[in-house]
A = this chain, B = another copy of it.
């Protein structure tokens, strides 16, 4: 990874976490023990990819970080809520995430359900606090990406797939809804934050979608080839659970080829959106393709 990208990612992780901390201090989080429960999964680590993408796209299109703050916080809360609900016993039943006990192990199942509900709701409260002309559009972009025609619908298909077989087409549909829709939304929120033109916004969406599909294809490969310590989770888990993955469908080499192809699509869209050809967005594509965790 380039030194520049590495430094930028470190800085953006801090920026994302500081922004969430700041946002939580300015919201009424209700009963104090519930506020603590909301903070637990929010500050339990992670790459902060989605808020970084909001900031990255906003920067590439000439917008100030300040405009990217609220949508970055909102989308990371949506991502966090989805992990909390995903880990529930009735869903993926995970006791650990990134080496830490999951929310329901620490606070109980009922509180974990409510923490997820709370974070999802707070995401929209956060966008409503903006006083820009793009704020309402941001609400729509985030809701569509997170809802039944996006992430939640993808989770549903993913659970259904564990019960029966799915072809490659089905796997790609799950990836598009479950993962790529929110990554695409992160990029589109960055474009909206920068006040981008409709043309740039369209290209940014293509960039985000391709990046999201690349990300998930790499994830599927890492489940087979990854190292437990580096991954922070047990490799082979998807396979054991009978999850629909690209590797199960196309083999490891086929899935790798697909990741490379998505990365190329992302590169084309990035240039079309007007991102710098030697800028961070293009380095980020290479980094996501080569990542080991």
Given contacts A91-B110, A118-B148, A136-B139, contact A31 B125 (CB under 8 A): no
Q: Is the CB of A152 within 8 A of B118?
A: yes
State the CA gap A31–B151 with chains docked (Å). Answer: 11
> Is A55 located at the chain interface by the 8 A CB criterion?
no
Task: Report A120-144 residues with CB < 8 Å from chain B CB.
Answer: 120-122, 124-125, 127-130, 135-137, 139-140, 142-144
Nearest-neighbour CB distance to chain B for A150, whole angstroms, equals 8
Which of A156-164, A208-216, A250-258, A283-291 is near enough to bind chain B?
A156-164
Q: Interface SS of chain A: helix, strand, loop or mixed?
A: helix
Q: How many chain A residues touch the partner (CB < 8 A)?
A: 55
Chain B residues contacting A31 (CB-CB under 8 Å) are: 148, 153, 156-157, 160
Offer 22 A-B interface pairs, CB within 8 angstroms, sorted by A. Answer: A27-B148, A27-B149, A28-B144, A29-B148, A30-B149, A31-B160, A34-B153, A88-B90, A110-B159, A114-B156, A114-B159, A118-B148, A120-B120, A121-B148, A121-B152, A124-B124, A125-B139, A125-B143, A128-B139, A129-B140, A135-B136, A136-B136
Which A residues are closer than 8 A to B by beta carbons?
27-31, 33-35, 37-38, 81, 85, 88-91, 108-111, 113-114, 116-118, 120-122, 124-125, 127-130, 135-137, 139-140, 142-144, 146-150, 152-153, 155-157, 159-160, 177
